[in-house]
Structure 1
Amino acid sequence: MWLYAIPTVHLEDISVKTLFAGDDFTHSTLEVALQVEGKGAARLTLRRSELEVFSEKIALNGGSALFSHAVENPYLWSAEDPTLYELEIELLDDAGHLVEVTGQKVGFRKFELKTNRMLLNGKRIVFKGANRHEFSSITGRAVGVHTHEELLRDIITMKQNNINAIRTSHYQNQDALYDLCDEYGLYLIAENNLESHGTWDIHQAGIRGIEGVLPNDKPEWKAVLSDRMNSTYQRDKNHPAVLIWSLGNESFGGETLLQMAEMVRRFDDTRLVHYEGVVNDPRFLETTDIESHMYSTVKDIKEYLAQGDKRPYIECEYSHAMGNSNGALHKYTELADQKDCGYQGGFIWDYIDQSIWKKDRYGKWFQAYGGDFGERPTDYNFSGNGIAYGGDRAPSPKMQEVKFCYQNIAVSIDNSGFEVWNKNLFTSTDAFDCVALLHRDGKLYQQQELTNIDVAPEERSSFPLPFMVPALPGEYAVTISFRLKEDTSWAKKGHEVAFGQGVIAVVRSIPSKKVTPFTVTHGTHNIGVRGENFDVLFSDLNGGLTSYRYAGKEMIQEIPRPNFWRAPTDNDCGNNMGGVRGQWKLASLYATAKGIGKEIPSVHGGTILQNPTCEVETDSVVVTYLYNLQTSPAAECSLQYRVFGDGRIQTTLHYDPVEGLAAMPEFGVLFKIDADYDTVEWYGNGPAETYWDRQHGAKLGIYQNKVADNMAQYLVPQECGAKTAVRWAKVVDRKGRGLLFTADAAKPMFFSALPYTPHEMESAKHPYELPPVHYTVIRAIGEQMGVGGDDSWGANVHPEYIPDVTKPVEFTFTFRGI
């Protein structure tokens, strides 16, 4: 029971629409429907930034009143420029006394379906979205006192990373979200609170009949679901950010859902209706205005579009971000960017890891997931699928790729110039500062502000390079960066909104022909090489490089080994990578140089196996080991060390294909050094981790971090921290001593420096299960398969991002002490 008092004239409800005739956006009509109690008058005043647009008084006689007023040349609302007007409604009683004042934000915008495309203010829109659950690692699904702060951080982080849309999965979010989306500029699919997933998937599986599916056509569900949909509409109808009403999530189909759609269409002809579930139950396709799918591949989308251009297509869930994921995201965004393509974007699943703070048995806080509270059955970490971490809501390394793929300005660069493609619908590039940077070998060489980069929305223009390449030896990369001109509510001046980068020249230096002297000592079971400030020891008993001392200090803790394995990612587990490629884990653990080698005559007659072989050349010593990889069918590899007198060791790993073996997850060499070497610096892609299929958002440069920082905060320890396109990397202690790794000039390498081996990470289900840190584990890698991410329950990494072992594979790099 409620007891409340209202004035003699009271505003019970308001509905606001901004109407446009045809494609003319210079003339608009503001339509306001009032529902009032009592008689009197209303004064409606529209302002923009304190400037009055109009003020008009109308009579009220109780019940409903419809007000409309022309607005000329309105500033249009969009995510690019979320201009809001303030509508003030003052209610006066019969005596003319002011008794009530209500404010309503108004955004002038037109969203429509035209020629099978979704248009915003006359332009084809692309949703660069994320799904968002109401979730906090402190209070779970309960909205707490801290929630507004967390919500605001989400909105700001999204804006800073070019996310332009949210789907409120799978229910209404708190009121403040919609206000913030209006203010900051984020498009919304406002989803109704409905999901009955568990009642229809068992029907789809053939376990139960359709009689168990809810709501289907069951009459007892129609009233309650119509009420829910009506409540969704009535609460959020005046938010310009809401472009689409969603009936719910994964609830099959049927007449009930169709009636919900027809009801909201009667209420609102300024938005579209979305419902993905008709994919599984196509009896009433007219339930939705939009073709919506989940986790279809780009290939699937193209095949659907080729069947006909019936209605716009979105992926309401795609690029499943579980653990180390979001590989090949660029394929989706490249498709959506095609001019007039029927695919109009999608919503990453999802925004934040759904994890909860909990203490382990020793009182240390960690991020807990399913099963950590003793509940069974459970999906374990399956809800750890955010592009932001659950604990502090900070962007995960995956966000780097999202920001780039979602950016609204694309730049392509070659040695003749650069092209700017402005993907914005309403904003010219001159709204941003444009800065050109020339780097030589990763270091800033020149910088110039460009003042003539004015590309109209949806247009492309080409420009000459502002730099001349010097004659100095080095690799020259140009970056074109677009940055905010002024502070905004979501970022400071100078925040980068988009960039493009390209290597425009490589000026080679003449290599030195100096030969540094060295000595070679052959023992019974060892080969020693001594040179300038170093000595190395090779063992035929232990099968490898057993010692490398530089400046009198031992640099390696274990014999380097060929490595073909990475700690499986969540996506790897979902597609049974371990079952398919598990022999490569065995090879990494148990490859042996014993019982294999080159046959040479024995002094006793017959032959013996020589392993390693040693060849002394003019400038170096070449020691080569053969390894039996312990696979079935049997396979071998060779690991060759070419030792120079100055302490450099050029290392080459070689593998010849064997029919019947699956492709390897990784092809490289693993080193273990002391954990005192805890800082890594590299010239390659960064600053966040990158992978073969997730490196578009990286910049080529010189970066530094702690080895421990490369352990991403994924809920389950897994492959993380890798760097692609690495020219050189060094791992050093606090005094700057350590090892320098250099890629072959013709091919950059993948590089990893972590506190743990892949096998230690694979054995832990929580970070607290990892052992105390004793080593820094370095992996110099020729190729590592991508991380995938089309989904996390079976989708494989795209074949072009898997090492090709149908032909010989070889990887060369050099390391030395520093």
Structure 2
Amino acid sequence: MNIGVNDLANPGFFAHNRLPAHSDHLWYANAAEIASGRSSFQVSLDGVWKFSYAKSPSAAFEGFQSPDWDVAEWDDIPVPSHIQLHGYDVPQYVNVQYPWDGHEQINPGQVPTAYNPTGSYVRSFALPEALPAGERLILRLEGVESAVVVWVNGTYIGYAEGSFTPSEFDITGQVHAGVNRLALRVYKWCSGSWLEDQDFYRFSGIFRSVYLRRVPTTHVADLRVGVDVSDDLANAVVTLRTRLEGSGSVRAVLGGVGELTADGDGLLRIAVDEPRLWSSEDPYLYDLTIEVAGPGGEVMEVIPQRVGIRRFGIEDGVLKINGRRLVFKGVNRHEFGEQGRVVTRERTELDLISLKRANVNAIRTSHYPNNSFFYELADEYGFYVIDEVNLESHGVWDAILRDDASKSAVVPGDKPEWRDVVIDRASDMYERDKNHPSIVMWSCGNESYGGENIAAMAAYFRAKDSRPVHYEGIYWDDRRPDTSDVVSRMYAPAAEIESLLAVRRDKPVILCEYAHAMGNSFGGADIYMDLAEREPLFQGGFIWDFADQAIRLTAPGGAEYWGYGGDNGESPHDGDFCGNGIYYADHSESPKIQEVRHLFQGLRADVDRDSFTVKNRLLFTSSAAYECVVTLEREGVEVASATTATDVAPGDSATYPLPLTLPDGVAGTGGEYVVTISFRLRERTAWAEAGRTVAWDQGVFMVAPVEVRPVFAVAGSPSLRPVLVRGRHNIGVRGESFEVLFSGLAGALTSYRYGKTQAGGRELLRAPITPCFWHAPTANERGYGGPYEEGGWHLASRYLRPADNSEWPAAVVEETGTTVTVSFVYALVGMPGSTCEMRYRVFGDGTVEVTEVLERGSSTPSLPELSALIQLPGAMNRLTFYGEGPEETYVDRRGGGRLGVYSSTVAEQMAGYLTPQECGSHTGVRWARITDRRGRGILVSAPADGAIELSALPWTPFEIEDAAHDFELPLTDRTTVRPALMRRGVAGDDSWGARPKPQHMLPDGRLEHRFSFRGVL
């Protein structure tokens, strides 16, 4: 049989000779093989294959599957892999739009003909001897994107679509002892590609493993584990149903409990008293060993199956796990890494360990079934999983929202020709994954509108299983609300969810996607979790998403960088919209993880001067399971530490006395103190070492008398009185160890020298100090059009002139007994009626107190920030600060920032977002030192009674804004410091219109920003 273009373009033709889907169990010859992890029944065909590429099916070799076809000169390609990452075709990132849109005018179901990359694969394998009578040999393809034809020894075997679930073929009749040839042809696009319009890179090829599996004459072809937990959770019944091929019998033993007994109709069962229940907090798995005997009683195969005993469902109107209301603290996770969607078990395990350490408890497999090993690991590490069918047709139905298309265009919609393939995709996922306790809901795909076909999929799941069904698309098409057992939304603000629950309370509500973490984002996410605390029907959600999808590329100069849409010359594309991760593309932590970890922690502490109150948000674990450590710090220096016992039951609160005492303020002990309550693991776990902090909170207290911070210590003796020098073009102020120069021509502070060497010391400025109202736009700001609306602030930051419009900027000079004050007032271009005053008060020890006053006109746009831009020599590349850290914090993303003293290089402050943008700022900064390796530089300080925000980066905001990738940032010999009154929140409800919340914006009206700086040696 030949597969032609008409077959590829037929929605009803999606599989031929493919074996029925079944559970993902593996069988072994004996217990020793199980212990080794290697089954003699399975052989991997992963490795190097021969490969030929053609840009379309018509250009591919005909007859290559023949054993006589010479492939010696063909290319080599690794399997698994994507052909686009090995020099064929190009990677293409698109979100909603289909990858062929605008190139070929085709209708849903049809396939591009002029350009449909086609790969031909050949691999030989040897059978030492002919298969014993009655045994079979199965070819298992774990994942091929998006359609595959199979031949063995020149004979056609079958065809399959579906990409993300296994395809199996019986090749018994076509193999022989000796060398056999396996040939596959893989098409990038088929009719099923209309159902695979996920927000991801478009690849093709054999991207998951390939196996040969030998099937004995007596074989368990499928197994189904059932668990029924009593209402009081004191008892459970575990059942096992198998589909046995051949003559024989099945025996099963549940480890630590006993042997299952027959219960009629092929069902085995066992009662479990006082079961240890599986949950995210205690993912305990029982070992079920299944022994398959032949007709003579001989053991034919042994099957290990792990069983989690747990109860999940909608009870009393809410989602509950083991009788307790659950809040999803989840993420969406594309299966994506440095090799695209070729992801190993080891990499997946590291991902899940990272997520456990971030206090994440749930994962949605957006938007397709993952490798089987993902679910095994989710069972083991404890994650609540929404398993999602490989279905998304966003690019077909989104036009409905613009009123230029009709519902008749929707795929799969109500179209009968799409019904079978939709159900088939659901069946493939369900049958493979049904035995995993981590799976708590089945999802009918993503962003495919609604209709009868998806409703039929939901009905299929309910007929097979008791787990709830999820589907968000009925929000857009509400004709079949019964499709989903939960109300699921995407990117709805928390206030909208609260309003919804005020009028509708028939189903639990979750956010299957929220907190769109594109670039510098994830602001205001605490508002959602606060709502989940007080509203029982709102049960959390899943952050979008886990890690940036990006490809490692090489810049013209040889530097490696992370590429995104368009960087491979592809079109159409959607740029850096693939950079939404709370982890970077290499799966290392981005600064956003700091906030995620704190937001999702299971224990909270409110700290008073003499006590602290613990609130336990865990479901099954007492706070006594963790060591509670209390530390006392004075401005970043630990002065005391103690442990204390707590025992707060899940869902309860309790108050405990502090095990240490704040100083009384005498004998130089006054100042700012921080009490930190930390909960740490008592013992090592599968995902972390003993002693790791899993939750913490702080209280900040002032102890009187408060000593003045050193940076404000200004002696009033005559010897420290600054000297004022009135030049013709410049104004100088100097002392014993400093000199400040104000330029009348530039209208700014242009020079600051500190130290007794040379003429007035070492120059610390590389450019005049200027007011700054701008930062490099974040992805979210670009998304809502901030640069267009607010670009005037960019101009106002770069192009200053005197407010009096004079050629010679007017400097106001005031001299007192111990200080000299010099002021400049600037008009702001494009901001009628707006001015900014920069007032510098110079003390005798070289301290310069800066007061920046912004007076805004009546119609100015939203203000990105109010700061001063100070450029230092690039050698001053070390930052130490006392503030909220260690990672960047913003006014709407500061909950995870701990008040303390932190040090790093200035270069390390530049976050690795796919597109350079505003980053590296810190809230709550009391002081910061920016110095060279010898400790020479400046000390920036907040007013004695407050804190500022501060950023120190190797580039100005304007240089960062001009770079599309990090390798495009210019060579720099400067460090740019921006002390700020406030920077606008980064927002993050979505990245295409959501703005920061009003409380996270700079207020209207007159703004005054104060800070000081002084040289240090």
What TM-score do the two structures reach when normalised by structure 2? Answer: 0.76
1:279 to 475, 482, 497: 475
Residue 716 of structure 2 is matched in structure 1 by 514
Q: CA 1:771–1:38 in 2, change beyond 3 Å: closer, same or farther? A: same
8 A Cα contact 2:643 2:659, kept in partner: no
Q: Residue 15 of structure 1 corresponds to which residue in structure 2?
A: 224
- 1:24 deviation in Å? 1.2
User: 1:226 offset after TM fit, Å?
Assistant: 0.8
* Contact persistence 1:43–1:58 (CA under 8 A): no
SS at the partner of 2:246? Answer: strand
Counterpart amino acid of residue 241 in structure 2: A
Give 1:296's aligned residue: 492
In the TM superposition, what is the alpha-carbon distance from 1:517 to its structure 2 partner?
2.2
User: Which residue type is aligned with residue 518 of structure 1?
Assistant: P
Q: How does 1:23-38 map to 2 (within 5 A)?
A: 23-38=231-246
1:361 is displaced (CA, Å) by 1.4
Alignment partner of 1:381: what SS?
A: helix
Contact 1:40 1:59 (8 Å CA) reproduced: no
Q: Specify the SS of the correspondent of 1:335.
A: helix
Residue 118 of structure 2: aligned partner: none
Aligned 8 A contact 1:533 1:646 in 2: yes
- Out of 261, 271, 294, the position equivalent to 1:70 is 271
Whether 1:550 and 2:754 are equivalent positions in the alignment is yes
1:578 pairs with one of 768, 779, 787: 787
Residues 171-195 of structure 1: CA distance to partner in whole angstroms, max 9, x if unpaired? Answer: 0001110000000011100000111
1:244 partnered with 2:441: yes
Give the drift of 1:88. Answer: 0.4
**Corresponding letter in the other structure for 1:405:** L
Q: Which runs of structure 2 are paired with 1:375-386 in the superposition (5 Å)?
A: 375-386=570-581
1:134, CA displacement in angstroms? Answer: 1.3
Give the alignment partner of residue 883 of structure 2, picking from 664, 684, 689: 684
Partner residue of 2:546 out of 341, 351, 355: 351
Deviation at 1:8, TM superposition (A): 4.2
Give the 3-state SS of the residue equivalent to 1:735 in structure 2. Answer: coil
SS state at 1:337 partner: helix
12-21 or 346-355, which deviates more? 12-21
Give me the whole-angstrom Cα distance separating, in 1, the residues matched to 2:898 and 2:628. Answer: 17
Q: Is the 8 A contact 1:717 1:766 kept in 2?
A: yes
Provide closer, same or farther for how the CA distance between residues 58 and 90 of structure 1 changes in structure 2, counting only shifts above 3 A: farther
Equivalence for 1:109? 310
1:655 corresponds in structure 2 to 854
Which letter maps to 2:634? Answer: R
1:687 corresponds to which letter in structure 2?
A: P
Q: 1:535 aligns with which of 723, 739, 746?
A: 739
Which residue does 1:322 correspond to in 2? 518
Q: Residue in 1 aligned with 2:802?
A: 593
Question: Equivalent residue for 1:750?
Answer: 949
- Whether the 8 Å CA contact 1:42–1:59 is kept in 2: the answer is no
Q: Structure 1 residues 59, 536: closer, same or farther in 2, change over 3 A?
A: closer
Whether the 8 Å contact between 1:150 and 1:393 is mirrored in structure 2 is: no
The letter for the 2-side match of 1:90 is: E
Query: Does the 8 A contact of 1:596 with 1:611 survive in 2?
Result: no
Q: Could you say which residue in structure 1 is the equivalent of 2:983?
A: 784
Cα separation, 2, equivalents of 1:59 and 1:614 = 97
Classify the secondary structure of the residue corresponding to 1:39.
coil
- Structure 1 match to 2:814: 615
> Following TM superposition, by how much is the alpha carbon of 1:115 offset from its aligned partner in structure 2, in angstroms?
2.2
Separation in structure 2 between the aligned mates of residue 18 and residue 726 of structure 1, nearest angstrom: 54
Match for residue 811 of structure 1? Answer: 1009
Q: Secondary structure at the match of 1:13?
A: strand
Once residues 158 and 281 of structure 1 are traced to their aligned partners in structure 2, the CA distance between those partners, rounded to angstroms, is 34
> Partner amino acid for 2:580?
N
Indicate conservation of the 8 Å contact 1:41/1:59, yes or no: no
The 1-side partners of 2:790 and 2:423 are apart by 51
| Aligned-partner SS, 2:614 | strand
- What CA distance in whole angstroms lies between the structure 1 residues aligned with 2:893 and 2:763? 36
**Do the aligned partners of residues 94 and 449 (structure 1) sit closer, same or farther apart at CA in structure 2, a change above 3 Å counting?**
same
The match for 1:415 is 609
> Which residue in 2 is equivalent to 1:266?
463
Q: Using the alignment, how far apart are the partners of 1:318 and 1:408 within structure 2?
A: 20
How many angstroms apart in 2 are the aligned matches of 1:716 and 1:508? 48
- Whether the aligned pair in 1 keeps the contact of 2:490 and 2:512 (CA below 8 Å) is yes
Partner amino acid for 1:343?
A: F
Are the equivalent residues in 1 in contact too, given 2:462–2:469 (CA < 8 A)? Answer: yes
SS of the residue corresponding to residue 421 of structure 2 reads helix
Contact 2:614–2:648 (CA<8 Å) still a contact in 1? yes
Q: Distance in 2 between matches of 1:473 and 1:816?
A: 24
Task: State the shift of 1:140 in Å.
Answer: 1.6
Please give the alpha-carbon distance, in whole angstroms, between the structure 1 residues aligned to 2:579 and 2:260: 53
- Alpha-carbon distance between aligned partners in 2 of 1:774 and 1:250, rounded to the nearest angstrom: 48
Matched, 1:447 2:641: yes
Which one is further off, 531-540 or 637-646? 531-540
Name the aligned partner's letter for residue 632 of structure 2: L
Structure 1 residue 97 displacement after superposition: 2.1
Q: Distance in 2 between matches of 1:609 and 1:670?
A: 22
Runs of 4+ in structure 1 displaced over 6 angstroms? none
**Residue 464 of structure 1 is aligned with which of 657, 662, 668?**
657
Q: Distance in 2 between matches of 1:74 and 1:639?
A: 70
Aligned to 1:760: 959
Percentage of identical aligned residues: 43
**Equivalent residue, structure 2, for 1:401:** 595
CA deviation digits over 1:244-299, x for unaligned, max 9? 00010011111111111111111101x10000000000000000001000000011
The amino acid that maps onto 2:305 is: Q
Distance 1:560 1:448 in 2: 46
Deviations 1:96-120 (A, max 9, x none): 3222211110000000112220010
- Which of 967, 971, 988 aligns to 1:772? It is 971
Q: Tell me by how many angstroms 1:594 deviates.
A: 6.5
The amino acid of 2:612's aligned partner reads F
Partner of 1:499: 696
| Matched residue SS, 2:247 | strand
Give the Cα–Cα distance (whole angstroms) in 1 for the partners of residues 894 and 866 of structure 2: 19
Match of 1:601?
Answer: none
Q: 5+ residue gaps in structure 1?
A: 598-607
1:589-621 deviations in whole A, cap 9, x for unaligned? 012237458xxxxxxxxxx98721111101111
